[in-house]
Amino acid sequence: MAPPQVPLSLSRADTFRDLVQDSVERLERHWPQLAEVEFHVLEVPEPRDDTVPLGSSAPATRDRHARVVVYRRPVELRAKGRDERALLVHEVVVEQVAELLGLAPESVDPRYGQD
């Protein structure tokens, strides 16, 4: 029975979306062009071969903005706790942004892979 502004009232999906948003906001300070990118959270990716991606990206087309997707369930299954989940979410966002920008992840965030 917590009020809405108290973190206890957030669902796991809401908390995960907040982690993605925090990561995006952190990157937008250095990469303002990310304001034109749509960031989404989906539960799971479409079934593929033997791999389960943690995220995906798609470049902009004439009809839509560039897009980054982070898959909540695969990320949650790989992270042991909140701190590890936050770190993994940020790494996935950095990797997908790097792919969109045609850069190495370390160029997008110099701290990538160091935590």
Phi and psi angles of residue 111, each rounded to the nearest 5 degrees, phi first: -85, 0
State the burial class of residue 54 (Cβ atoms within 10 Å of its Cβ: 0-12, 13-18, 19+).
Answer: buried
CB-based burial label for 10 (10 Å; 0-12, 13-18, 19+): middle
How wide is the angle at C-alpha 70 spanned by C-alphas 53 and 77, nearest 5°? Answer: 60
Looking at residue 10, its pLDDT comes to 75
Distance CA 95, CA 42 (A): 17
Instruction: Give the pLDDT score at 1.
Output: 54
Q: Which pTM was predicted?
A: 0.89
Cα–Cα distance, 39 to 68 (Å, whole number): 5
The strand pairing partners of 70, in sequence order, are 41, 55
- The continuous run of DSSP H or E covering 71 comes out as strand 67-71
Q: Give mean pLDDT in consecutive 10-residue pieces for the chain, a chain of 115 residues.
A: 61 94 96 95 87 94 96 95 95 97 96 82
